[in-house]
Amino acid sequence: MDLSISRLGPAKINSPLRLSTERGDRVCNFVSDDERILYDVSLRTCQACRNDPASVPLSFERAGPREHIYFDPNKVRVGIVTCGGLCPGTNDVIRSLVMELHYHYGVNRIYGFKYGYAGLVPEGGYDVIDLTPAIVKNIHHDGGTILGSSRGHQDEDTIVDTLERMGLGILFTIGGDGTLRGAQKIHEEITARNLKISMIGVPKTIDNDISLVEKTFGFETAFSIAIDSIRGAHVEAEGAPNGVGLVKLMGRHSGYIAATAAVAEPDVNCVLIPEIPFFLDGDKGLIPWLRNRLESRGHAVIVVAEGVGQDLLEADKNERDASGNVRLEDIGLFLKRKIASELKAVGVKYSLKYIDPSYIIRSAPANPNDSLFCATLAQNAVHAGLNGRTGMLVGYWNNVFVHVPIREAVAERKLVDSEGELWRSVLESTGQPARWK
């Protein structure tokens, strides 16, 4: 893995931020380029490096304000674009980007592109919005994004033409894996043309599935909202003989929302996520497990992530959304029918309540902890962009904000580790079988 970050050129301008370089003078400090954060903090890795003097432990650049910057704040033009599905906190990020650029660096040419990458190509036909503190000051109270969003690929050549025509110096892209893959292609085109345009990503997805980023903004708010549905399902399940509460949550490839919500609200008895295949029948299948659970405890709560069990359904692999994802069949409704027919077939009287909070969990405004996270992500994105870093996103690793090359972040998707701590917590909290076969 190569965690080095590209730069547009030497940063020669003194930063307008009034910070210090001395520790102990009670003034916040600039971050120097040699401050790095270890990728792996385990003692074993550190010792392996100590034993081999030639090896240097893998590390990230620490994010934060640099003493010198690349762009002249009086002259640089900056763009912001939000892409992909909605996500709590997107407006917080837009607001903080604008406030940091305007009040701290004195950047006054900030443009918002409408409806994702479609706003960056002439065929989209969308106007550009001037973003000022007056426009963004109250937007964090609302879910969604004031810029609008869209899915789908746009030609990177055409996008870079637009950036060139507008004389843009920095483009902040707020989005998930598809958006970041697009940002990487734009960055490559910018590099091929030898342009001085910085591409800075802010990782946004409720699915929390970006590699090398411990958490993405919006994830915490989304799983917290999902908890209301789980509580409702539990109350309903306990309120009837053989009550079954079934909750479907978003999570196309990664089951972080379902797994995390289930540990946070431990009334859940079984979690099904895309990373861990399950089986309906057989000794250790879901249906026999459910019958046992009803027999012994009289009720059950099941949380199912939308991307699991697609092999049980007749998904048409050719039907794709604008991001190129295969359109999922509804596993929640499938399980609802299947459980009902299986229990009926063996004469078990039951009451099944199905809850799908759907888009409610991602269209809400950010909770306070996510808002805090968004503000700091955005401030660090501005520091990186003004300094001339490029082809990177602001990540969070070992509790520190760091610079992550987009190239590495999109190389593979982050999945719940079936041998990791989160999944172990799920198993301990639910008591569900570790294997379904």
Could you say which of 62, 140, 291, 362 contacts ligand F6P (CB under 6 A)? 362
204 near ligand F6P, judged by CB under 6 A: no
189 near ligand F6P, judged by CB under 6 A: no
116 near ligand F6P, judged by CB under 6 A: no
Stretch that binds ligand F6P, among 40-48, 54-62, 246-254, 293-301 (CB under 6 A): 246-254
Could you say which of 142, 155, 188, 321 contacts ligand F6P (CB under 6 A)? 321
Stretch that binds ligand F6P, among 53-61, 63-71, 247-255, 266-274 (CB under 6 A): 247-255
Other C-beta atoms lying within 10 Å of the C-beta of residue 415: 17
Nearer Cβ to ligand F6P (126/223): 223
Stretch that binds ligand F6P, among 37-45, 203-211, 233-241, 286-294 (CB under 6 A): 203-211
Nearer Cβ to ligand F6P (179/430): 179
Distance CA 212, CA 231 (A): 32
Stretch that binds ligand F6P, among 21-29, 236-244, 248-256, 370-378 (CB under 6 A): 248-256
Nearer Cβ to ligand F6P (84/124): 84
The size of the interface with ligand F6P (CB under 6 A), counted in residues, is: 11
CB of 82 to ligand F6P, least distance (A): 13
Nearer Cβ to ligand F6P (85/405): 85
Smallest CA-to-CA distance from 409 within 428, 424, 395, 425 is with 395
């900030």: which residue's tokens? 110
Stretch that binds ligand F6P, among 14-22, 106-114, 250-258, 270-278 (CB under 6 A): 250-258
Could you say which of 251, 388, 391, 405 contacts ligand F6P (CB under 6 A)? 251
Distance CA 79, CA 170 (A): 6
Distance CA 112, CA 163 (A): 12
Supply angle C-alpha 18, 133, 400, rounded to 5. Answer: 50
CB of 364 to ligand F6P, least distance (A): 13
252 near ligand F6P, judged by CB under 6 A: yes
Could you say which of 73, 143, 176, 332 contacts ligand F6P (CB under 6 A)? 176
Does the CA dihedral 38-401-145-330 come out positive or negative? positive
206 near ligand F6P, judged by CB under 6 A: yes
181 near ligand F6P, judged by CB under 6 A: no
Q: Count the helices and strands in the chain (H runs, E runs).
A: 12, 17
Smallest CA-to-CA distance from 385 within 99, 94, 146, 78 is with 78
Beta bridge partners of residue 404, listed in sequence order: 393
Distance CA 102, CA 137 (A): 12
Supply angle C-alpha 186, 187, 189, rounded to 5. Answer: 65
Active-site residue, from 92, 177, 207, 356 = 207
Cβ burial of 277 (10 Å; 0-12, 13-18, 19+) is middle
Distance CA 184, CA 182 (A): 5
CB of 250 to ligand F6P, least distance (A): 3
Q: What is the greatest pairwise CA distance in the chain? A: 78
The residues, any chain, with a CB within 8 Å of residue 24's CB and separated by 6 or more, are none
Kindly report the length of the chain: 437
Distance CA 193, CA 187 (A): 10
Q: Assess whether 207 carries a catalytic annotation.
A: yes
Nearer Cβ to ligand F6P (33/321): 321
Other C-beta atoms lying within 10 Å of the C-beta of residue 360: 14
Distance CA 260, CA 230 (A): 12
Nearer Cβ to ligand F6P (49/312): 312
Nearer Cβ to ligand F6P (310/376): 310
Identify whether the C-beta of residue 247 lies closer than 8 Å to the C-beta of residue 356. yes
207 near ligand F6P, judged by CB under 6 A: yes
203 near ligand F6P, judged by CB under 6 A: no
416 near ligand F6P, judged by CB under 6 A: no
405 near ligand F6P, judged by CB under 6 A: no
The contact set with ligand F6P (CB under 6 A) reads: 85, 176, 205-207, 250-252, 306, 321, 362
Catalytic residue numbers, as ranges: 207
